[in-house]
Amino acid sequence: MKKRTPKSYLILIRYLILLAITALTLPLIYKIFTPLTFYPSAYLLKLSYNIAINNDIIIINAKTFIQIIPACIAGSAYLLLLILNLTIPMKLEKRIKAILLSFLILLVLNILRIFFLATLYHNGFTYFDFTHKLFWYVLSTVFVVFIWLLIVKIYKIKEIPVYTDFKYLLKKAG
């Protein structure tokens, strides 16, 4: 007969893994998602403009340089989606699918965001700075919330990150 690992230990193991991932993953996220963001963004811009690439800069013309800095990659947004996915009980296969889909959606939205902002900048849009800050401070959060709610709906997630585990552990302790 197979002996089962108590759920409390599985929760502890999941959070220890989460702690390790949180401490070590951000540089890895940037290493993976920088080229995955930069080159498709450049490709989209190439459909409309005659561009050149120099390191992390997309050159549209002598006056328009688009530099993709780490903040443009949205590493913290990927990390937040990963944390949300790891702080709920879920079967491994479902978790992997949820993480991959949430990362894919964020990647596509981020590439489209960069293309949109680069186009506005190149065309001298009067309210570019305001629009850029709006995307940075507000819409980046909206993107993550939207993606998480979409993942919850697609994968029929009923649990609440952290709260579900905390509630279970309190119930077991009391």
75, 84 contact by CB (below 8 A): no
Q: Pairing between strand 64-67 and 57-61?
A: antiparallel
| DSSP SS3 for 64 | strand
Phi and psi at residue 30, to the nearest 5°:
-65, -40
- pLDDT (tens digit per residue) in 3-54: 555 888 888 888 888 888 888 888 999 999 999 999 999 999 999 999 999 9
Q: How far apart are CA 91 and CA 156, in angstroms?
A: 12
Q: How far apart are the first and last CA of the chain?
A: 29
68, 34 contact by CB (below 8 A): yes
Q: How far apart are CA 87 and CA 172, in angstroms?
A: 18
Q: What is the DSSP letter of 161?
A: T
66, 60 contact by CB (below 8 A): yes
Q: Which amino acid, residue 51? A: I
What does the pLDDT read at residue 4? Answer: 57
- pLDDT (tens digit per residue) in 112-127: 999 999 999 999 999 9
What does the pLDDT read at residue 5? Answer: 59
Q: pLDDT at residue 58 above 90?
A: yes
pTM metric for this prediction: 0.88
- pLDDT (tens digit per residue) in 68-94: 999 999 999 999 999 999 898 889 899
What does the pLDDT read at residue 53? Answer: 94
Q: pLDDT at residue 170 above 60?
A: yes
Q: CB-based burial of residue 37 (10 Å sphere; 0-12 exposed, 13-18 middle, 19+ buried)? A: buried
